[in-house]
Amino acid sequence: MSLPPPGPDAAVLVTGASSGIGAAVARVLAGRGHPTVLVARRGDALTELAGELRAVSGQASEVHAADLGTDAGLTLTRDLLDDDRVVGLVNAAGFGVTGRVADLAGDAERRAALDGLVRLNVLALHDLTVAAVGALTRRVREDRPGAILNVSSISAFQPLPGAASYAASKAFVQSFSEAVHAELAGTGITLTALSPGLTRTGFAEAAGTDAFDRVPDLVVGEAADVAEAGVAAMARGDRSVTPGLVNQLSVAGGRLAPRTLLLPALKRGMEAFGA
């Protein structure tokens, strides 16, 4: 196992913990007995979650309101990783933006959102992963293993017209995470990429799409189920996990289908979702 057994000295830092998959992962970790260090922009939501987790696990959760899209937020979070109690990191912070790049480019507000997407989904995740690898490597010399879980997406496995920047950001997460997992082989530290499909969170509303209203319930996952799969894979030290058979088939199609056939189909599908 890569994630150490639960205990007061086996805390896991979770970014994006105020809602969605991040909050669900924090609940799963607490259910396993891990203290959590919760990081997100909304301190009030984190405080509420911390109270819920304490009732479940009996373990206190630290709460740190920080915007990972800023240098100050990243610096604060990197410093938290230096705490010797922290044995794991979950990079769940992220958001999406939908729309054609040509349309977004002419709207100052939405163009700024695109820039923020890349800063959070790519640069912040990269920064914190590198910091965590450094901190955990120092501790593994004391026979303390460690684990990292990066939240990717099935969008990582093919270009996605109508959400080009989001899919590209997740392609970075997937590629980077799998490569670092291989680099860490034999060290006692692992990095797992969690690649969910459509999941019931606040993501769709924030991304500006009503996609969840237009697809069968069969293809929409629950955040709790995604979190369970992610934490289990993190604990095992798996390289990658994609919860759900439909999502696994989608990933296979994205990898194998010729781009000349796939991209027009994806473009039509995203346009049907209003992206």
Rounded CA-CA distance 106/15 in Å is 31
How far, in Å, CA of 24 to CA of 243, rounded? 14
Closest CA to 101 of 81, 125, 78, 118: 118
Cβ of 112: how many Cβ atoms within 10 Å?
Answer: 11
Helices (H) and strands (E) in the chain, counts: 11, 9
- 73, 99 contact by CB (below 8 A): no
Catalytic site residue 170? Answer: no
Report whether 219 contacts 265 (CB < 8 A).
no
Instruction: Kindly report the length of the chain.
Output: 275
**Catalytic residue (choose from 166, 172, 176, 203):** 166
Which of the residues are catalytic? 166
